[in-house]
Amino acid sequence: MSENRRVVVTGLGAITPVGNNVKDAWEALKSGKNGIAPITLFDTEKYKAKLGAEVKNFDPKEYLEINDILRTDRYAQFAVAAAQQAVDDSGVEGTVQPERFSVIFGTGIGGIGTFEVEHTKLMEKGPRRVSPLFVPMMIANMAAGMIAIRHDCRGSAMPAVTACASGSNAIGEAMRMIRHGYADAVITGGAEAAINASAVAGFTNMKALSVSDDPNAASLPFDKRRSGFVIGEGSVALVLEEYEHAKARGAKIYGEVCGYGSTCDANHITAPHPEGRGGTQAMLDAMREAGWTDSDRVYINAHGTGTPMNDAVETTVIKKALGEEAAKKAYVSSTKSMTGHMLGAAGAIEAMVCLFVLNEGIIPPTINLNEQDEVCDLNCVPNTAVKADIDLALSNSLGFGGHNACLAFRKA
């Protein structure tokens, strides 16, 4: 099998807090639209954290029959919808042998909404009232399985479950699958739907969430006032395809996935390594594979969660990977300031952003960045998008468990 096949993106789909298709989501991010608002999915009266970045106006009936909706967790509904958009956008269906068509789809938590509902039934009404569909609705591989069934993908169909790095790991592993000859096309990305009572309680009690009640003072990457992330939800899907296959069928090409780094801090279950050793290595690996040089004009979509430790450590990571001078020249923004932290879907929407940055030469802002922390002394594109031609776009994702992933993109 060939070991150096080029991999390109030929389809995109998006169900997000700022728009339920790719065009609307990208226009919102360029314009600095804030998708954060008071949580409506459950009663937050007893909760310190009351804000979330919810998907609005999503109708699963546009993508699924009613019987399928009733036996599908919200995270998988998002995934199926985004994947359908991406496959339609790419036109890949029917051009690839089913055995050469695969799925790798990330989620950090999977069907936690289903878990909460069914566990409540167990406690209140007894074991006979638990749904027989509890397990298939809850498990973290079901989004990948449902996508594979729908699109007749008979190659590998599996999840990436690496907390908040899941979406990026899914895309990176999909790239490797095509590069090393195991597939010709892969539907990939990430999905999450964890804005519910138990997940928000857990994140709040570990002091990970912002408890601000002001949507414009809650998700504050790189700002002195930052105090935690805002939980988001949604899904973004990408169709990755072998370059010659895509070119031969005249496919639209958004860009090339040209580098990937995946490492572990091997340090702590939630905190990043204080010197950023794993994140630095992931960036270096992705940059090396992408052929980075000092002359490259670089954009970095930062992990940028708005937690005090993460943003400071990631600044160190970027400086170590690029070197101080190149790091100061690079454009760095955190779109989590608008989408909140979409957990297992974060890496996927941020990959989408990188592709549009390359194609349009517009850098989306880090909104509400009014008091930039001196420790986070990079060009973090405060509040307003800027125009800039970019050669190399990098997306960083860091997850509980010490997982680090970096994706690198160029124009094809």
For the stretch 294-304, pLDDT in tens is 999 999 999 99
Checking if the pLDDT of 1 tops 70, the result is: no
Please name the amino acid found at residue 60. Answer: P
Of the listed 151, 273, 341, 403, which one is catalytic? 341
Helix and strand tally (H, E) in the chain? 14, 14
For each of the domains in the chain, give its residue range(s) and CATH number, in order of start.
7-248 (3.40.47.10), 259-410 (3.40.47.10)
Once rounded to an integer, what is the mean pLDDT over residues 108-132?
98
The verdict on whether 264 is a catalytic residue reads no
The verdict on whether 376 is a catalytic residue reads no
Mean pLDDT of the chain: 97
Once rounded to an integer, what is the mean pLDDT over residues 308-319?
97
**Considering the chain, what percentage of its residues have pLDDT values greater than 90?**
99
pLDDT at residue number 2: 53
Please name the amino acid found at residue 216. Answer: N
Per-residue pLDDT reduced to its tens digit, 51-106? 999 999 999 999 999 999 999 999 999 999 999 999 999 999 999 999 999 999 99
Alpha helices, DSSP H, located in 152-227: 166-179, 197-205
**If pLDDT is split at 50, 70 and 90, which confidence band does 142 have?**
very high
Of the listed 245, 273, 303, 403, which one is catalytic? 303
**If pLDDT is split at 50, 70 and 90, which confidence band does 198 have?**
very high
The verdict on whether 303 is a catalytic residue reads yes
Once rounded to an integer, what is the mean pLDDT over residues 378-402?
97
Per-residue pLDDT reduced to its tens digit, 234-272? 999 999 999 999 999 999 999 999 999 999 999 999 999
Three-class DSSP labels, 58-125: CCHHHCCCHHHHHCCCHHHHHHHHHHHHHHHHHCCCCCCCHHHEEEEEECCCCCHHHHHHHHHHHHHH
**Separation of alpha carbons 365 and 302, rounded Å:** 11
**Separation of alpha carbons 253 and 349, rounded Å:** 17
Checking if the pLDDT of 3 tops 90, the result is: no
Of the listed 151, 153, 164, 354, which one is catalytic? 164
What is this structure's pTM?
Answer: 0.98
Checking if the pLDDT of 343 tops 60, the result is: yes
Once rounded to an integer, what is the mean pLDDT over residues 149-173?
98
The DSSP secondary-structure symbol of 287 reads H
